[in-house]
Amino acid sequence: MDLTEFLIKTATIFVVFVLTLVIAMYSTWGERKVAGFIQDRMGPNRAGPGGLLQPLADAGKMFFKEDFIPALANKWLFIAGPSLAMLTALLASAVIPFGSTFRINGHEVALQGVESNIGILYVFGVVALGVYGIMVGGWASNNKFSLLGAIRAASQNISYEVAMGLSLIAILMMSSSLSLGEIVAQQHGGNWNIFYQPLGFIIFITCSFAECNRVPFDLPECETELVGGYHTEYGSMKLGFYLFAEYINMFISSAIISVLYFGGYNYPGMDWVYSQLTQAFGTETGHNAATLIGTAVFFGKALFFIFFYMWVRWTIPRFRYDQLMNLGWKKLIPLAIFNIIITGAAVLFLKPLVTAWLN
């Protein structure tokens, strides 16, 4: 790898990192605005126009609060908890394809941190690690409620990871590739996976709600039973990191959903737009403009799913813990296995029939 390529990769990764942070930051603002809209009130409107500076004000407040560590807590692990939560939340965005390629002086720059042939497995591995931040933090607080919250969070995450992995397998059987870039490229031309995998999509989005610890699956921080859940003892920016990691996870899972099921940066009629743009501006500028439109479409999809998360949060009440476990183990996992069998049968028998009929 020569130096230019290395610098371009570094710049891409930096841009992805900053974008993730900014989107997560403004999701906190968006969450309050959506909550205000649903509950028929204004939401934040004091700091800046429309409350747009509210996230900055919150971050400032968090940083300047007293950084308190309980006397009997395990000091290093108490600090490691929120750090691990942030780390695992930020890791996953590296393999997400945000758009097609940019052409700068003949260089093709992919709008993706790392193009890896195990992309989706990487994301799955990082998601599996997300549990450590919560468990380590909950245990290190040396508080029964924190520990119970952490245990709940961990068992919830492990349970829903199984169904999530099984619903992914159906997608992988169709695409026969683990690379996210490849999966997006295969959905070109309105060929989105949602049309082939509606059941898989429902299972996946339910599991991602549970993985992000969002309502209706926010049992780990259920304040009616557990005071504050695994972050009862946390304050200041450490608490901020836990909450922020949740918003980053929300963005990542929305992006993954739009990549896997909604065609990523593909949109209907993109070939026509591409040919118009390349005719009007020449190959290089036209290509870049088309890529920009695709990236905007991608972010539109991802932001819609973030909105969906908030919409659900302010609409649906929380599950009871046994209901959560029954849903995960007795309903979603058998459904996901059924989905795999149906997909396998369709790929084997239905696909040759349909292709023969179409030709």
List interacting residues with another protein (CB under 8 A): 74, 77, 116-118, 121-122, 124-125, 128-129, 131-132, 135-136, 139, 147, 150-151, 154-155, 158, 161, 178
Task: Copy the structure tokens of residue 328.
Answer: 């995960």
The DSSP line for 172-210 is HHHH----HHHHHHHTTTT--GGGT-HHHHHHHHHHHHH
φ, ψ dihedrals at 113, nearest 5°: -60, -60
- Select 117 or 191, whichever has its Cβ closest to another protein: 117
- Which of residues 9 and 103 has its CB atom nearest to another protein in the complex? 9
CA distance 282 to 303: 31
Give me the helices (H) in the chain, please.
3-38, 54-64, 75-91, 119-140, 144-175, 180-186, 198-211, 223-226, 236-260, 270-281, 283-313, 321-326, 333-345, 351-358
**How many Å apart are CA 120 and CA 168, to the nearest integer?**
9
Instruction: For strands 107-110 and 101-104, give the pairing.
Output: antiparallel
Which residue's CB is nearer to another protein, number 121 or number 289? 121
Question: In the complex with another protein, which residue's Cβ is closer, 270 or 333?
Answer: 333
**Least separation in angstroms between CB 164 and another protein:** 12
Least Å distance, CB 122 to another protein, is 6
Nearest approach in angstroms of CB 11 to another protein is 21
- Identify which of 99, 132, 60, 319 has the alpha carbon closest to the alpha carbon of residue 209: 319
Q: Tell me how many degrees the CA angle 321-327-333 measures, rounded to the nearest 5.
A: 135
Provide the CA 153 distance to its chain's centre, in angstroms: 18
Distance CA 63, CA 173 (A): 47
| Helix (H), strand (E) at residue 268 | none
Taking the complex as a whole, the smallest distance from the CB of residue 358 to another protein amounts, in Å, to 28
Closest approach, Cβ 114 to another protein, in A, equals 11
Contact 318, 222 (CB under 8 A): yes
257 touches 34 (CB < 8 A): no
Instruction: Give the other-Cβ count within 10 Å of 108's Cβ.
Output: 11
In the bound state with another protein, the residue whose beta carbon lies nearer, of 100 and 213, is 213
Residue 336: CB minimum distance to another protein, A: 16
Which CB, 84 or 215, lies closer to another protein? 84
Interacting residues of 330 by C-beta distance below 8 A, sequence separation 6+: none
Smaller CB distance to another protein: residue 45 or 155? 155
Q: How far is the CB of 129 from another protein (least distance, A)?
A: 6
Q: How far apart are CA 248 and CA 251, in angstroms?
A: 5
CB of 285 to another protein, least distance (A): 36
Least CB distance to another protein at residue 254 (A): 22
User: CB 155 → another protein: shortest distance, Å?
Assistant: 8
Which of 279/326 has CB closer to another protein? Answer: 326
Nearer to another protein, 51 or 229 (CB): 229
Cβ-based nearer residue to another protein, 117 or 326: 117
